[in-house]
Amino acid sequence: MQCIINRRATFSASHRYWFSELTEQENKEKFGASSRFPGHGHNYVLFVSLIGELDRYGMVENLSTVKRVIKQEVTSQLNYFHLNDTWPEFQQILPTTEHIAKAIWDRLSPHLPLVKIRLFEHPELWADYQGNSMEATLSLKTHFSAAHRLALPELTLEQNSEIYGKCARVNGHGHNYHLEVAVTGEIDARTGMIVDLGSLQKVIDDYVVEPFDHTFLNKDIPYFAEVVPTAENIAFHIAQLLQQPIRELGVELEKVTLIESPNNSCEINCRHLDLSALLSVQQEPALVGAC
């Protein structure tokens, strides 16, 4: 029986985005505050995922061994160091989150049966690497607050209440939505980036956060005049809005995750979907109950 196990580790380190061949002003224009001398630091959180068959002891891998290898090969070498000055990998390619994740994979893969490396730079930015050459996935987390009402206009209040429960009440209700956007692309052989983070954040802000924040979705977002703003439909619409602008940045929209509340969330895996075709058909309502 095959199983995936995960081991968490942490390290604190600093890094700087800086090309020696550029002037100080050129570096500032290219990397912004990240170019400042001597750099800046993060409390990194690392998840190492391993896959394998269970052995006679009921384990994929002895966790004592896993802990020792991660410490020996990664955390003892990076913890409380300036990353640009540590591994040779970071001499030619900048130590971005996605490149650090790949470098950690390369260090651990001879010793452990890896299936994924996930590295958090902070709780709202993380990278995934799964051994696919220079391909990595970068995820950004943001939020917006909005109200909605779940109801089909052709149904009575009683009928809508049977389908949507309290969510059908006429004055609506609100949520603090948390949005996670994951994009996939090739790690640049010089910058270490799959995409310019500032440009990606701007696309998400311009197409989703600013238009959606502090709105009544049914009334303020034209799309939801015709489509019931369930978490699923909101996530699909966000994916539709983001897919092409993100593609124009040189990466592909991988996944949209919308967290409506601690109890409710949904994910849209976008990379190989024709979102415009999917969203052209209004789905039948489901018995969802209260939000």
Q: Per residue in 26-39, pLDDT tens?
A: 999 999 999 999 99
Per-residue pLDDT, 289: 42
CA dist., res. 174 & res. 224, Å (int): 15
Q: Residues with catalytic annotation?
A: 167, 214, 260
Q: Is the pLDDT of residue 288 over 50?
A: no
Per-residue pLDDT, 272: 74
Q: Which two tokens stand for residue 44?
A: 């990194």
The stretch 181-198 carries a mean pLDDT of 97
Sign of CA dihedral 161, 164, 166, 168: negative
Instruction: Quickly state the pLDDT bin for 274 (edges 50, 70, 90).
Output: confident
Instruction: Write the pLDDT tens digit of every residue in 223-233.
Output: 999 899 999 99
Instruction: Quickly state the pLDDT bin for 3 (edges 50, 70, 90).
Output: very high
Q: Is the pLDDT of residue 188 over 70?
A: yes
Instruction: Quickly state the pLDDT bin for 291 (edges 50, 70, 90).
Output: low
The stretch 223-251 carries a mean pLDDT of 96
C-alpha dihedral, 227 to 232 to 236 to 239, nearest 10°: 140
Per the prediction, the chain carries an average pLDDT of 93
CA dist., res. 261 & res. 230, Å (int): 12
CA dist., res. 57 & res. 288, Å (int): 43
The domains of the chain, with CATH numbers, are 1-131 (3.30.479.10), 133-291 (3.30.479.10)
Higher pLDDT, 231 or 287: 231
Total-model pTM? 0.91
